[in-house]
Amino acid sequence: MGENIKREKDFVQVCVWTACVVGVDKVDEFVELMSNHFGVRVQYLEEIKTGPDTVDGTIVPETGNRNDLFFAVHKDDINKFAIKRMEVGIRWIEDVLSINNYRCAIYPERVHDYKSW
């Protein structure tokens, strides 16, 4: 995919669920699952296969090609989702892309535009 998915109105907080596979044919089921399990409204954005990790510019063997899910949470549901999301390892995109965490470019540069701030 060459560009970010446009977020619907009020779906402001983008999340990353690492190693999560939904598939475009199961988007409705994913949205329903998030509503039923977490009580939040979400917009499925995309799934991205990660690039390999690097150390000092050298590719780390047998890394990368992990499927990560990107989705957005409705602004009115962020507070109630903030703690619950940690149960399954869902992270805010700002945390994933933080300079402290983003040590190598495993995602396309364009995902930085998903940040809400």
pLDDT tens figures, 69-106: 999 999 999 999 999 999 999 999 998 888 776 656 88
- pLDDT cut 90: percent of the chain above it: 69
- pTM value is 0.91
What pLDDT does residue 115 have?
83
Domain range annotation of the chain: 11-106
What pLDDT does residue 89 have?
95
Q: Per-residue DSSP letters for the chain?
A: --SPPPPPTTEEEEEEETT----GGGHHHHHHHHHHHH---EEEEEEEE----EETTEEPTT----EEEEEEEEGGGHHHHHHHGGGGTEEEHHHHTSTTT--S--S-GGGGGG---
CATH of 11-106, one of 3.40.1350, 3.30.460, 3.30.70, 2.60.40: 3.30.70
